[in-house]
Amino acid sequence: MQQPQKKTVIRTEAPEKMPIIIEAIYDGADFRRTVYAYEEEKKMPYISSIERVGIEKGVQLRSREAVIEILETRFETVPHSVISAVEKTDDTSVLKTLFHEAITVKSINEFIKILNTITV
């Protein structure tokens, strides 16, 4: 099996002014293992900003899916405009409110009124 070719070498400096060399290779799995091993070696107890963004996007996606799934389960037919408005919502606190409202509202029309109030 042929070894992956190195794609690029990025040189940067850590806050302590110690040079760090990161070798990015074609096989992303090897790169991730290298980064995770480095983080473990240095006992880095934090989540990187990229990981935070990924986690936030995952929370947003799952929250949107949950709101729509609850509405479809409770009311069977959900207007496309409602689905579209929920899918465009990025604020996790708004999505949490919509989640609770989807569970407790008496009708889809009541949810639409709440949705229009919250997302406007």
Q: Are residues 32 and 89 in the same domain?
A: no
Cα torsion 108, 114, 119, 120: sign:
positive
* One-letter amino acid of 61: L
For the cut 80, the answer to whether the pLDDT of residue 109 exceeds it is yes
What is the reported pLDDT for 106?
A: 96
Task: Determine the Cα–Cα distance for residues 86 and 68; give it in Å rounded to an integer.
Answer: 8
Same domain, 61 and 109: yes
Same domain, 113 and 68: yes
Mean pLDDT calculated for residue range 4-27: 46
Which position has the higher pLDDT, 22 or 46?
46
Residue 110 has pLDDT above 80, yes or no: yes
Does 18 score more than 60 pLDDT? Answer: no
Percentage, residues of the chain above pLDDT 90: 48
The verdict on 73 and 102 lying in the same domain is yes
The pLDDT of residue 80 is 96
| Domain of residue 86, residue span | 50-119
Q: Which of 109, 40, 96 has the alpha carbon at shortest distance from 67?
A: 96
